[in-house]
A and B are shown apart, each in its own frame.
Chain A
Amino acid sequence: MKTFFSIILKNKYAWSGLCIDLIAFFFTLSDKNNILNLVYLILLLIIMLCTSTYLIIINRKYFTNWISWSIPILLFYICNLINDSGIIIKQFNISLFIVLILFNSLIWIPVTSGIMLWYRDVGVKIIAWYSAIFIWSFVAAWKIHGNILEIWSSSSSGVLWWLNPIPFFGFMVIPLCIFSIIRFTYLIISEEFA
């Protein structure tokens, strides 16, 4: 608890900006045709993205464990699930918030993965687990739903809400893993010959 409060006090301006930003979202109007409303939303999105990313980077030592790393992934997955599965949320602001988190997690995932992969030599593990989950997810998807190519090229891709995030995750994280493996291999060899 003490650590949590000290983190907040250390970066009080960033935290304040984030909180005000989140509160401001709940005052957004549901009028989609209003240009000013759109500009207002984009501005809030950018502020949220910048402040949250800044906070992650500044407090990066807390993002070198598996739990912290998996939080943005879970958020992405849950928000994508709500978005793709056709669940209808009547409150506009809440559904907007979910989309917001979804967009932000597209940045949070590579940032937290980058931090994790910079400080810990876990690139091989992530690639190993990801490839196993990837291939068997696609096998399961094909077995359950049939030709995925047809589903993806039609308008009913929401049926694959549980599968769609997986390739996205791969595009975001696998290149970072490869870079991390190369970097740590270089460090290991340099240490050996130092």
Chain B
Amino acid sequence: MENKYKINVFALPSQTSLLLFIIVTVIIGAIIAGSFGQSPILIWPLAFGLIFLSLRSFLSSPDNIKNKSIKAGDDFLVLKQEIIKLSNKIKLKSIPQLLIGTENSDIKVFGSFRRRYLLIPPKKALEWQKELNNPDKQSIIQASLIHELYHIKTGDYWKTEYAKNLLISSFLFMLWAIFVLSGLIVFLQLITPDFIQFDFSIIIEKISKFSPELANIFLNKIDQLKKLVQERYKTTNFFLVLHFTVNSLLPFIIVGFILWKLYLKKMLRMRELYADAGVVNTQKDILPIYSSITRIPFNILKKYPPVIINPKSTIWNKLKALNKNHPDKTRRTNSLINPNHIFDDWFDMAILVGSLVLILDIVLLGPLTMLYIGFMPMHFPTLACLIIISISLLPYIVQNKPIFKELCKLLAFIEGLRLVLLIILIGSMIIRLFVSPEDLNNMLSIAVASTSRFAGFSDNLGYDDLTGFLIQAIIFNIPQPFIMFVVLLMSLIFSAFITRRIFTWYSFPQAEKYLLKIVYIFFGINFLIVSYIMIPITTILLQTNYNIPMFFIVFIITIICGAMFVYYNNKYACYCPECKYKINGNYYIGKKCDSCDKLLHSWLIITNNENLDSLGK
């Protein structure tokens, strides 16, 4: 039986914000990180270009739709007034401008940071305006309007638009950069020998007819330039420059595709579910929005309340659903009845986090960021995993759901994916070792040069003992997914335990404001513990250098924070904020004080009415 108290999804971290953060950090973070330090080509102009073009494209995107529609006039006064009323009801900071589109337009909210528009096709706008006076239809129309307005309240309308523009700009810009830069490198390689040997006397003769002084200056400059070019030409391996360029920029194209397919589409689906939840929060009733989604008449729904539908979904159907821009109706309606359905199950989470790990492996092992990752490239994706999963577990924790089995499946999938990738990479190198060791040596030399941003000539790039290198690579890399599985499992179980304890601090002052912030601070501490204590200890046999000062600093921070945790836990845990009665057990949505019946952490719950109460029974 479903819990009659429904989780307030807006009290927990926004999934769309998290997804946007991931997209922006991966793309822009990587290019900015790569801008520092020496490299065969200048990266910072590319970073600037990408940020500028993506922002510019995003800010101008509303004009593409706005120019094809008209501002709603006085014919739609009633509708405009309704929009103003509802905007005030949900406490919108600014009211969107109503635009009337074409017959083929969809109803949508669009805009940029400061501009907000609500687009409605003309027929729909007239219909809604008319039906607003009909008491049977009024709440349904209001539900549709609140749904759109909630995209503005949560900011989802600009987050998805910016993410889309960033991914498109990144794809096109990097493709262009690869094409043009490789052309430039090939061109420089072709012209340099000819330039050095070219006799400029014909040109100088022509100039000297106009101005002998200018001809002299030109002659000196040309001689200096030729010497410089000759020196650089001798020490530059153009093939390595080309390899660096393609290797640095190609990951953005591959990763951009994965982010588009998995993350952007997920953002688009999640925002609809959040908007639906916003309607329920505002109207305190799911029937109007349910009727709007399913087209089932309101009076029928009143007679036959909706129930949760549990369709049997195969893995193939789940994978197909990942490609959709809209959540399917079943998920939408189930999420209305029980907002838990907004949050991912372990399979969806595994795809999301697993793909993030893959993305980070592609990006971080490239020339732009490899120098930052250093000796243990698996750590960064592991830490990213830790943060994402910790945040994603919050809905399960506040409902006191068991997580051990799901965590094991999730982590097994993620680390299994990495293990498969490693086996493929190392396997292909082993095959190459037997088939063509010179090719392997060449390939590794180029990889070393690329990741160390070297584009000259050196005998030290190659490997004398390829077999020894591969054995070392196997010993170094293959145990890591298993180690990271254990590290993540232990740290996430620890994280869940501490988070559950923090949620029993019922009498913490202004818990609705500060409790989640304390949880996030704990996630940060956990991040440091895993980075500087757990991973170094568990990989002690694989690595020989780790950061001892940071180990002690983090150890001290852990002791201090641990002491603070114990203090606050003793002071606030398991005490009713009203009557100070001792409440045992973990927190769950809808838990009440046994003594005074006070609803604990009411900020995590949607305030109910009859319609909501009757659902799911």
Chain A contact patch, size range: 20 to 34
B56 A185 Cβ-Cβ under 8 A: yes
A149 B194 Cβ-Cβ under 8 A: yes
A131 B180 Cβ-Cβ under 8 A: yes
B60 A132 Cβ-Cβ under 8 A: no
- Chain A residues positioned under 8 Å from B179 (CB to CB): 132, 136
Other-chain residue from B53, B60, B112, B183 in contact with A135 (beta carbon distance below 8 A): B183
With A132-B176, A135-B183, A139-B183 given, is the CB distance from A192 to B194 under 8 Å? no
Within 8 A of A (CB), among B182-241: 183-184, 186-187, 190-191, 194-195, 198, 202-203
Q: Judge if A34 is at the interface, Cβ distance under 8 Å.
A: no
With A135-B183, A149-B195, A150-B198 given, is the CB distance from A143 to B190 under 8 Å? yes
What does the 1/0 interface line of B42-81 toward A look like (CB < 8 Å)? Answer: 0000000000010010011001000000000000000000
A139 B176 Cβ-Cβ under 8 A: no
- Chain A residues positioned under 8 Å from B195 (CB to CB): 149
Within 8 A of B (CB), among A175-190: 184-185, 188-189
- Chain B residues positioned under 8 Å from A143 (CB to CB): 190
A135 B180 Cβ-Cβ under 8 A: yes
Q: Judge if B115 is at the interface, Cβ distance under 8 Å.
A: yes
Tally of A-B Cβ pairs under 8 angstroms: 51
Chain B contact patch, size range: 20 to 34
Residue of A nearest to B173 (CB): A128
- Chain A residues positioned under 8 Å from B187 (CB to CB): 135, 138-139, 142
B114 A124 Cβ-Cβ under 8 A: no
B183 A147 Cβ-Cβ under 8 A: no
Query: Which among A143, A146, A185, A191 has the greatest number of chain B C-beta atoms within 10 A?
Result: A191
Q: How far is the CB of A123 from chain B (nearest CB, A)?
A: 11
- Chain A residues positioned under 8 Å from B60 (CB to CB): 121, 184, 188
- Chain A residues positioned under 8 Å from B183 (CB to CB): 132, 135-136, 139
Residue of A nearest to B193 (CB): A147
- Chain B residues positioned under 8 Å from A135 (CB to CB): 180, 183-184, 187
Within 8 A of A (CB), among B163-189: 176, 179-180, 183-184, 186-187
Q: Judge if A153 is at the interface, Cβ distance under 8 Å.
A: yes
A170 to B63 Cα, complex, angstroms: 29
A124 B53 Cβ-Cβ under 8 A: yes
Q: Judge if B113 is at the interface, Cβ distance under 8 Å.
A: yes
- Chain B residues positioned under 8 Å from A139 (CB to CB): 183, 186-187, 190
With A128-B176, A139-B183, A153-B202 given, is the CB distance from A147 to B194 under 8 Å? yes
A191 B194 Cβ-Cβ under 8 A: no
A57 to B365 Cα, complex, angstroms: 54
Residue of A nearest to B191 (CB): A142
B56 A188 Cβ-Cβ under 8 A: yes
With A142-B190, A150-B198 given, is the CB distance from A189 to B184 under 8 Å? no
- Chain B residues positioned under 8 Å from A171 (CB to CB): none
Q: How far is the CB of A129 from chain B (nearest CB, A)?
A: 9
- Chain A residues positioned under 8 Å from B190 (CB to CB): 139, 142-143
What does the 1/0 interface line of B566-597 toward A look like (CB < 8 Å)? Answer: 00000000000000000000000000000000
Q: Judge if A193 is at the interface, Cβ distance under 8 Å.
A: yes
14 intermolecular pairs with C-beta atoms under 8 Å apart: A131-B180, A132-B180, A136-B183, A139-B183, A142-B187, A149-B194, A150-B194, A150-B198, A153-B203, A185-B56, A188-B56, A188-B59, A191-B59, A192-B112
Instruction: List the 10 closest pairs (A to B, CB-CB), nearest first.
Output: A135-B183, A147-B194, A142-B190, A188-B59, A136-B183, A188-B60, A139-B187, A153-B202, A128-B176, A149-B198
- 12 further A-B contacts with Cβ under 8 Å, apart from A128-B176, A192-B114, are A135-B184, A139-B183, A139-B186, A139-B190, A142-B190, A142-B194, A153-B202, A188-B59, A188-B60, A191-B59, A191-B63, A192-B113
